[in-house]
Amino acid sequence: MGLKRVPWDRFVLRMETQMHYYPIFLDIEQRKVVVVGGGSVAERKVRNLLENGAEVSVIAQKLTSSLRQLVEKGTVSVLGRKFKASHLDGAFLAVAATTDALLNRKVAEEARKRGVLVNAVDQPEECDFIVPSIFRRGDLLIAISTSGKSPALSKKIRVGLEKEFGQEYESFLVLMGSLRKEILKQQMPQDKRRRMFQRLVDSEIPEKIKKGDWKGISAILTGILGRQISKADVLNYLEIG
C-alpha cells in the first residue's frame, strides 16, 4: 500500500500552523538564571549556562555530586529546596528541569507572569525558547535545532559537523578577525573588499592551519592581499608567539 497523498493546500496550511522558532544568540553574561531541578539534566543545563557567563541559582530537593561541588565552590548558589514564585524575581531566564511535569508547568507560568523567558525540559508547549544542539570552535558557534521534533537527529547532525569544522576554524576566525580590521582601514571600493573577504573564506587556509603549513598560508595571503606576507606576519595575525 502506498503512502496517502496530502493535498498541497492542506499541507501548506498544516505547515503554517506549526510552531516556528526565531533563532537568536543571547548574551547572558552576568545575568541571573534560575534552574529548578538538581538531577543530571539540570546539571547539563547549569554547566552550559556557566560556560556562557550566567550567574546561576538552583532550586532542588537533591543535587548531583557535581552540582554540590559547584555550590561548595560558590560557583552556583542555592535558593531553596522547594520552588517559590519569588525565586524568579530579577531573573533573566528560567529553566525547569525536574521530572515533575506539573512543577515544570508551574515554573513556566510564574516565569511568564514576570516576563522571564523559560525553558521546560521535554515540554515544548511550556517553553518560550528551546536549547539547540551546539558546538563551539572559539568564536564559531554552530547550533542545530529540529524545533523539538528529534533531539537525536540534532545530535547526529552536530556530530557530523564537528568532524567537518575542526579546531582549525578557531584559529581561522582569529586570522579573519585580524585581517578584517586591516582591510577595513584601507581605502578601497566596497566591492573589492567583499571579493577579498570571499577569496579568504573560500581559500584552503583552514586546511593549512590544521597542517601547520605557515608557508602555504603566507603564499595564499600574499596573493589575496597583494603584498608580501611572511610566516612571522601569519603568526602575528594568528596571535601566536
List, for residues 64-121, the tens digit of each pLDDT value: 999 999 999 999 999 999 999 999 999 999 999 999 999 999 999 999 999 999 999 9
The helix (run of H) or strand (run of E) holding residue 32 is: strand 32-36
- Helix and strand totals (H; E) in the chain: 10, 7
Its pTM stands at 0.76
**Taking the alpha carbons of 219, 220, 226, 228 in that order, is the dihedral positive or negative?**
negative
Euclidean distance between CA atoms 131 and 143, whole angstroms:
9
What does the pLDDT look like over 152-211, one tens digit per residue?
999 999 999 999 999 999 999 999 999 999 999 998 899 999 999 999 999 999 999 999
Euclidean distance between CA atoms 31 and 29, whole angstroms:
5
